A and B are shown apart, each in its own frame.
Chain A
Amino acid sequence: MTIKELQTDMNCRAVWNGWEDREVTGAYTSDLLSDVMARSEEGQVLITIQAHKNTVAVAVLKDLSGIITASNRPVPDDMIETARDEEIPVFVTDNNQYETGWRLHELGGF
Chain B
Amino acid sequence: MSTFRADLHIHSCLSPCGELSASPRAIARSARERGLHLIALTDHNSARNAPAFAAACRSEGLAAVFGIEITTREEVHALTLFPTVKTALEAGDEAYERLESEPFDPGFFGDQVWVDENEEIEGMLDKLCILCATDLSLDDLGPWCRSRGGILIPAHIDRPAFGVLGQLGFLPEGPFEAVECTEPLSEDLTDPWPVIASSDAHRPEDIGCRCLEFEAPEADFEALVMALESGKTRALYGNK
Are A57 and B131 in contact, CB atoms less than 8 angstroms apart? Answer: yes
Are B75 and A32 in contact, CB atoms less than 8 angstroms apart? Answer: yes
Residues of B contacting A33 in the complex (Cβ-Cβ under 8 angstroms): 75, 131
Q: Say which residue of A34, A57, A61, A86 sits within 8 Å of B71 (CB atoms).
A: A34
- Give the Cβ gap from A55 to chain B, nearest Cβ, in Å: 9
CB proximity to A under 8 Å, residues B113-134? 128, 130-133
CA distance A86 to B105 in the complex (A): 14
CB proximity to B under 8 Å, residues A22-56? 32-34, 37-38, 50, 52, 54
Decide if B160 is an interface residue (CB 8 Å cutoff).
Answer: yes
Decide if B170 is an interface residue (CB 8 Å cutoff).
Answer: no
Known A57-B109, A60-B108, A61-B104; judge A37-B75 contact (CB<8 A). Answer: no
Residues of B contacting A58 in the complex (Cβ-Cβ under 8 angstroms): 131
9 A-B pairs with least C-beta separation: A34-B133, A52-B161, A34-B132, A38-B100, A37-B132, A33-B131, A60-B108, A37-B131, A32-B75
Residues of A contacting B190 in the complex (Cβ-Cβ under 8 angstroms): none
Residues of B contacting A60 in the complex (Cβ-Cβ under 8 angstroms): 108
- Give the Cβ gap from A40 to chain B, nearest Cβ, in Å: 11
Are A37 and B161 in contact, CB atoms less than 8 angstroms apart? Answer: no
- Give the Cβ gap from B98 to chain A, nearest Cβ, in Å: 12
CB proximity to A under 8 Å, residues B125-156? 128, 130-133
A selection of 6 A-B contacts at a CB cut-off of 8 Å is A32-B133, A33-B75, A34-B71, A34-B73, A37-B100, A61-B131
**Most chain B CB inside 10 Å of its own CB: which residue of A34, A57, A58:** A34
Query: Number of residues in B with C-beta < 8 Å to the partner?
Result: 18
Are B75 and A34 in contact, CB atoms less than 8 angstroms apart? Answer: yes
CA distance A41 to B235 in the complex (A): 43
Residues of A contacting B102 in the complex (Cβ-Cβ under 8 angstroms): 37-38
Secondary structure at the B interface, as helix, strand, loop or mixed, is loop
Query: Number of residues in A with C-beta < 8 Å to the partner?
Result: 13
CA distance A57 to B17 in the complex (A): 11
Known A33-B131, A34-B133, A58-B131; judge A52-B160 contact (CB<8 A). Answer: yes
Known A38-B132, A50-B161, A54-B131; judge A61-B108 contact (CB<8 A). Answer: yes
Given contacts A34-B131, A52-B160, 18 further A-B contacts (CB under 8 A): A32-B133, A34-B71, A34-B75, A34-B100, A34-B132, A34-B133, A37-B100, A37-B131, A37-B132, A38-B101, A38-B102, A38-B132, A54-B162, A58-B131, A60-B108, A61-B105, A61-B128, A86-B108
Residues of A contacting B162 in the complex (Cβ-Cβ under 8 angstroms): 54
CB proximity to B under 8 Å, residues A54-72? 54, 57-58, 60-61
Residues of A contacting B100 in the complex (Cβ-Cβ under 8 angstroms): 34, 37-38
- Give the Cβ gap from B162 to chain A, nearest Cβ, in Å: 8
Q: Would you give the 0/1 interface string for B85-109, flagging 1 where the beta carbon is closer than 8 Å to chain A?
A: 0000000000000001110110011
CA distance A49 to B160 in the complex (A): 11
- Give the Cβ gap from B85 to chain A, nearest Cβ, in Å: 28
- Give the Cβ gap from B111 to chain A, nearest Cβ, in Å: 14
CA distance A86 to B104 in the complex (A): 17
Known A58-B131, A60-B108, A61-B131; judge A37-B101 contact (CB<8 A). Answer: yes
